[in-house]
Structure 1
Amino acid sequence: MAPGGVKTKVLIVGGVAGGASCAARARRISEAAEIILFDKGGFVSFANCGLPYRVSDVIADDKSLILASPELFKNRFNIEVRIQSEVLSVDATRKFVRVRNLVTGNEYDESYDALVLAPGAAPLRPPIPGLDSPGVFALRTIPDSQYIRSWIAEHNVKTAIVVGGGFIGLEMTENFVHMGIKVVLIEGLKQVMAPLDAEMLPRVHERIQERGVELCLGDIVSRIEQQPDEGLVVETKGGKRFDAQIVILGIGVRPVTELAKSAGIELGARGGIRIDDRCRTSDPNIWAVGDACETKDIITGEFAVLPLAGPANRQGRIAADNIMGRSSSFRGVQATAICGLFDMTVACTGANEKTLQRLNMRYDKVHLSPGHHVGYLPGAKPMDLKVLYDPHDGKLLGAQCVGEEGVDKRIDIISTAIQKGGTVFDLEEAELCYAPQFGAAKDPCNMAGMIAANSIRGDAPLAHWNLDSYMNSFLLDVREPAEFERGHVEGAINISLTRLREAMESEIPAGQPILVYCAVGQRGYYATRALRLSGFNARNFSGGFRAYTNYKKAGLLAPAQ
């Protein structure tokens, strides 16, 4: 590359994560390039993930959300930023865009050598009567948060309805509660946080309700009625009616693709802009990055629209590299995500079980509920960890974790392992930092790897509450009698681990499959090993009675249980 880099004219439409990172990266590669960034809003490079916390004043100032101003782009990077400038259309043949200055109304054409589309995604607005009523808001931009704050102050809001149990819906629910506002959370699925499997969420649902939120699952909004006092009534398809002074829509987003359509660019089956691994569209002079794009899932091979800041930033860098003559490729996505809610953390990476079943992909799984650090040190908090893997070679396929502490660390470890094509055997051998206040000598990630590896090797094969019926098996509860009395699986026989060996000769049938469980899986593992070494056909229920309880609450138990 010549000194100073490629002399080219780059136009970027959209100035948040993907667009802003593309502009800055392009300048770092080429001092000769002319770079112009357009955004129809009044802000660029702002942290929209922080908006719910701005509504509640946890983040005290809009300026804290702005990572870079137009002035900073100009002074630091020599990048021209044109805010309140809407790109109306693309003439891909002539390589021009049509721009309207939203302040003056003036329209003009701007030429390009390379065009980057980073328009993001827009909140879904289904055809619900009353959706445009005053007091009904979506949250996507800094002005959105300002309007919501003003409405709350002007109307002395004490009651709110949040529609949608995804990231924005949950974060807005938590922040409303922080503000002393009574919340009803309506979610069309029977669970919040759709990327997780249902058995991972019962304790999250309980925590939401413990904090005073009315949780309405498996129901959808059918109508919103404006009241004479400016209040709102939300009616659901199930016939419920809720009063509120404000409604927040968090039911998802759609890719913004109008410009791509005007340019004749190919869209994917899910409605996003189709890009290759160089972030180039079907037009060789146009690239696209961020929430408007469809990208390949590295686990399933499917194309997906994934509105997350991390992939958008990486795509922005990769598009800039390729525009400026460097060969750089985007490896795809694995949907690593996290959400904090009422002192709990919910996180995931890779494929969930629902997806693997839908695609008929081969998999097995482990459930475990370790403390986030060693039990002998006060303050250990339990987490529920689920790891999915290929039972033939142990390749990691996905993971989910829910808890109060240490969740992000474990999902980040497994996410990195997935990125490198890792297996449960790699988790088994992973060398991770350990001191009593941070983890254990056998970290939860190590334990997950060991459990899965033991199952693959045949040392302690696993059973699963949602997949394995125990009707024709001997169901063995190896907890202590007092634990059994407090709650057990119907039909189970209680023989504690401490007296298992003496019971093998007379109390356990030799010719029948033995399905073992304990509280969370560890004693079940010990019992399974002892039984198998003594000639019994034994398997251990992954996650023990705790997992059984979660599956039962989620309505996922296998037939005949």
Structure 2
Amino acid sequence: MSEKIIIIGGTAAGLSAASKAKRVNPDLEIQVFEKTGYISYGACGLPYFVGDMIREPEELVSLTVEQMTNKRGVPAFTHHEAVKIDRSRKMVTVVNLDNGQEQEHPYDKLVIATGARPIRPQIPGIGAEGVYYLRTVEDGIRLKAVVKAEGKKKAIIAGGGFIGLEVAEEMALSGLEVHIYEKLPRLLPFLDEGFSEAVLETLKERGVQVHLGMGIEEILETDGKVSGVRSSDGAEEKADLVLMSIGVTPSSELAQEAGLELGLKGAIVVNDEMQTSDPCIYACGDCVQMKNRITGGPAYVPLGTTANKQGRIAGDNIAGGHETFKGVLGSMVTKVFDLYIGATGLSVLQAEEAGFEPAVSVVTKGDRASYYPGSRDNRICLIFDRKTGRLLGAQGIGSESIAGRINVFATAITCGMTVAEINELDLVYAPPVAPVYDPILIAASQAMKKVKP
């Protein structure tokens, strides 16, 4: 008889696991259960859907249920929530959310890909109508409806992380008055302080009002609807809607109830083959604890790229393979209006905590030949070990080309390169795309001056 595989979660990690396993072993009997109404969607595109750059929710979807079921041979079920894992009987209890019916499904191997959920702070008024989150397509549909409704509106965003900043941009471009409340003293504190200031200035120039060092202590309501917020300094601000964007937490309750080992931030502990503490159960994506590729220590960096990679590895292994996940650097990029922001590897604080002696070098260099029209400054910050020159982290702000340059640094970190070795790279040059001495090389050469073996 063919092995029965149950996959809980039908987005990036879950469907990557299902697709890979079916390709490796077409005889596997695989079922995917997803509690929302969509599978295989690009959650990172949700801010741009809210702003109407992406018009229809279906544009975010890579594979429909029909395509997954009929073309890939993997039945997928939406509005089906797994509510219990019985490890002794190898059974998963699934509830059909449309009709409330409950059914048990046997498995030989199980993949938990339940992702993460938005943090919901326990503050007065959090349940009021007009409080939004942005994690699922349904979340995006609800938020977009109010953003696009007629009439002048005032939005408050709790949290100045990447998602909060992206939504702030889209709301501002949609004509809303936007306020960001960030509890920390500066935006994106893992960045060089000057870079954080540049992000703040960009927001201010576009009319977004930022309240630093201010958390939201209460959501004010009138007749059950949002009317404003009260911040940690006691001040009140009126609002028509509030977006809670203060981070996510692993959706690991099923694993916990099943007795699986949990680790950092309550994420599921897995080995390099994505196996949990139960060898018949695998886990991948935003619900699992990861390994930092530089330090080897535990990390939790919920990103779509990581989820897809881990899903493919889990899928290969449940089909009989022995692929391993090497870890994460936490490479990320976004844009705030016309300012692009990217980072990879360790921050200075993380490098210190890991036992390195970090040094920092910051340079500013045009992204094209100085005489070529349209050149924009790239500001690059390198974090490296003062004794060895080994690159530990890189950050950049500036033009669209920042993403490509951060990718080069991510590659260099992965290969264990020193700043001296990066300085010797034979990079491309043409006036429309890069100066003779690329910002990458300038950053590396300046960093070399601070290496003291």
Q: TM-score, normalised by structure 2?
A: 0.97
Equivalent position of 1:25 in the other structure: 20
8 Å CA contact 1:349–1:399 kept in 2: the answer is yes
Distance in 2, matches of 1:231 and 1:78, equals 46
Distance in 2, matches of 1:90 and 1:62, equals 32
Match of 1:389 among 379, 384, 387: 384
User: Are residues 1:289 and 2:284 paired?
Assistant: yes
Q: TM-score, normalised by structure 1?
A: 0.79
Match of 2:394 among 399, 413, 418: 399
Equivalent position of 1:232 in the other structure: 227
Distance in 2, matches of 1:238 and 1:290, equals 37
For residues 288 and 122 of structure 1, do their structure 2 counterparts lie closer, same or farther at Cα, with a shift above 3 Å needed? same
Matched to 1:305, the amino acid is Y
Equivalent position of 2:172 in the other structure: 177
Distance in 2, matches of 1:371 and 1:39, equals 47
Using the TM superposition, give the Cα deviation of residue 104 of structure 1 relative to its aligned residue in structure 2, in angstroms.
1.6
8 Å CA contact 2:351–2:357 kept in 1: the answer is yes
Partner of 1:369, secondary structure, is strand
Equivalent position of 2:423 in the other structure: 428
Match of 1:257 among 240, 252, 256: 252
Partner of 1:201, secondary structure, is helix
Equivalent position of 1:116 in the other structure: 111
Equivalent position of 1:323 in the other structure: 318
Matched to 1:90, the amino acid is I
Partner of 2:366, secondary structure, is coil
Partner of 2:449, secondary structure, is helix
Distance in 2, matches of 1:178 and 1:131, equals 26
Which is greater in Rg? Answer: 1
8 Å CA contact 1:15–1:118 kept in 2: the answer is yes
8 Å CA contact 1:8–1:113 kept in 2: the answer is yes
For residues 101 and 364 of structure 1, do their structure 2 counterparts lie closer, same or farther at Cα, with a shift above 3 Å needed? same
Distance in 2, matches of 1:163 and 1:428, equals 41
Distance in 2, matches of 1:60 and 1:399, equals 35
Using the TM superposition, give the Cα deviation of residue 306 of structure 1 relative to its aligned residue in structure 2, in angstroms.
1.1
8 Å CA contact 2:129–2:226 kept in 1: the answer is no
8 Å CA contact 1:383–1:405 kept in 2: the answer is no
Match of 2:370 among 368, 372, 375: 375
Using the TM superposition, give the Cα deviation of residue 103 of structure 1 relative to its aligned residue in structure 2, in angstroms.
1.1
User: Are residues 1:63 and 2:58 paired?
Assistant: yes
Equivalent position of 1:163 in the other structure: 158
Equivalent position of 1:523 in the other structure: none
Percent of pairs with identical residues: 36
Q: Give the alignment of 1:70-469 within 5 angstroms.
A: 70-153=65-148, 156-227=151-222, 230-456=225-451
Using the TM superposition, give the Cα deviation of residue 440 of structure 1 relative to its aligned residue in structure 2, in angstroms.
1.7
Higher RCO (CA < 8 A, seq sep 6+): 2
RMSD of aligned residue pairs (Cα, Å) = 1.6
Using the TM superposition, give the Cα deviation of residue 150 of structure 1 relative to its aligned residue in structure 2, in angstroms.
2.5
For residues 228 and 260 of structure 1, do their structure 2 counterparts lie closer, same or farther at Cα, with a shift above 3 Å needed? closer
Equivalent position of 1:15 in the other structure: 10
Distance in 1, matches of 2:316 and 2:189, equals 34
| CA displacement, residues 357-390 of structure 1 (integer Å, 9 cap, x when unaligned) | 3444222121101111121212211121101111
| CA displacement, residues 400-424 of structure 1 (integer Å, 9 cap, x when unaligned) | 0011232111101000111122221
| CA displacement, residues 233-268 of structure 1 (integer Å, 9 cap, x when unaligned) | 111111222111011111000000111012210000
8 Å CA contact 1:270–1:304 kept in 2: the answer is no
- Runs of 4+ deviating beyond 6 Å: none
Using the TM superposition, give the Cα deviation of residue 188 of structure 1 relative to its aligned residue in structure 2, in angstroms.
0.6
| CA displacement, residues 289-324 of structure 1 (integer Å, 9 cap, x when unaligned) | 000111111123321221100111000011111111
Match of 1:52 among 47, 51, 64: 47
8 Å CA contact 2:2–2:28 kept in 1: the answer is yes
What 5-or-longer segments of structure 1 have no aligned partner? 1-5, 459-561
